[in-house]
Amino acid sequence: MNTIILKPRKEESVLRFHPWVFSGAIAKIVLDSHYPHAQPQEGELVRVADSTGKTLAVGHWQVGSIAVRILAFGVDSLPSDFWKQRIAAAWQLRQVSGLVREDNDTFRLIHGEGDFLPGLVVDVYHDTAVVQAHSVGIHVHRHEIARALAETLPQVKNVYYKSDDTLPFKAPIEGDKTGYLIGKAGDEACWATENGLQFRIDWVRGQKTGFFVDQRENRLLLEHYAKGHDVLNMFCYTGGFSVYAIRGGAKSVTSVDVSAKAIDLVNANVVRNFPDFTAHYSYAADAFDFLNEQKENKYDLIILDPPAFAKHRDAISNALRGYRRINSKAIEKIQHGGILFTFSCSQAIDKEMFRLAVFTAAAQVGRKVRILHQLHQPADHPINIYHPEGEYLKGLVLYVE
Ligand code: SAH
């Protein structure tokens, strides 16, 4: 294995278990004597050592500002059952968290650094594990990962590899038919259960792995508020919040998403769970236009769950403008005594920045606004305490007088 030697004192963050080594921290690369290339190849395992040559960790080599994503600290190689061990530990944590029940077979099994597996995301839907590689290193190990998933989780019958838009190259969207990365025809979607509600999950055509698992508990909270309300679910995607609102006794539910495919899924999900509910309305429309066009203020419970406005640090000011704009529109349009559930899933926007953006939006409109709840990501999206960057989802529940 090739060795990455750090500059003096650059070992400090590694000794504090931060899982990334930045390219600027590297003094030199010592290649194995028989190594055939002039430098490590992206996705390979490398050893990380301090400036004296002492082993610190093993990780995946990457091209870019994050040069190594660390998989294991204090060792110079990975045990042969490494993937199995980590996946078993993550599975154990999901069981401890009470997420795996008869009325809930939908959960995130692996949340990257939060499960000590940088670059790997795995969501489980009923009998299918959908695997997403965010690093070439994970792509290289995809077969071992798939095998470990199939062998560890008794319910997993199908492992689908979906990394078509998360890697620097085009990964096969279909499984590669090794038997562990299965992509056979017919395995493109399933009905999964979340808190007793059924959702159509289409991991082939859907966004990300097919569903936003991270809002499960926030949807449950919304359900408790929904009784008798006229609910507007903006950026609804598959309509998670809409279906919970109906179960909670909403008077009417309106779902809005710019994607027509998403609207088809919302409609299918509403009909599957509540075939007799006649007050669900759905629109494939831009959220900003939709709010602008509302002549009367008829909604008294609004959900704003936009996509990550800031994908990178340099997009922060634009993103904050987006949050201010959409929140001020909703605060302006909501009925007196209305409840607003507002979220940000941009990792680059922290909870103070988001709260300030919502504060500014409220001040612009000039209505009295109080915070009832501060929301975040659930237990199956754990945050490694040494990697605070893993915190991304934040939300506020506001009471608007
Ligand atoms: N609330 C959803 C997840 C939202 S993801 C859930 O619980 O599952 C963000 C959604 O916003 C995506 O479905 C995307 O299609 C939609 N979207 C993006 N830009 C939009 C816009 N300008 N107007 C309306 N919807 C938009």
> Residue 230's closest CA among 254, 256, 257, 266?
254
Q: What does the pLDDT read at residue 175? A: 56
Mean pLDDT computed over 321-334: 96
Q: Mean per-residue pLDDT for 32-50?
A: 96
Whether 113 and 135 have beta carbons less than 8 Å apart is answered as no
Which atom of ligand 1 is found nearest the CA of 219? 7
Q: Decide if 345 is catalytic.
A: yes
Tell me the pLDDT tens digit for each residue of 199-230: 999 988 888 999 999 999 999 999 999 999 99
What is the residue whose two structure tokens read 């989802």?
Answer: 393
Q: How confident is the model at residue 354 (pLDDT cuts 50, 70, 90)?
A: very high
Ligand 1 centroid distance, CA of 31 (Å): 46
User: Whose Cα sits closest to atom 13 in ligand 1?
Assistant: 237
Other beta carbons within 10 angstroms of residue 104's beta carbon come to 16
> Which of 257, 305, 311 to probe ligand 1 with, by most ligand atoms within 8 A of CB?
257
| In 153-215, alpha helices (H) | none
Residue 185 in this model has a pLDDT that exceeds 50: no
Q: What is the pLDDT of residue 180?
A: 61
Residue 171 has pLDDT above 90, yes or no: no
**Residue 40 carries which DSSP code?**
P
Ligand 1, atom 11, lies closest to the CA of: 235
What global pTM score does this model have? 0.95
Ligand 1 centroid vs 15 CA: distance in angstroms?
A: 40
In the 8-state DSSP scheme, what is residue 113?
G
> 38: which DSSP letter?
S
Tens digit of each residue's pLDDT (9 = 90 or more) over 125-136: 999 999 999 999
Residues near ligand 1 (Cβ within 6 A): 207, 212, 215, 235-238, 240-241, 257-259, 262, 286-287, 305-307
Catalytic entry in 221, 265, 304, 345: 345
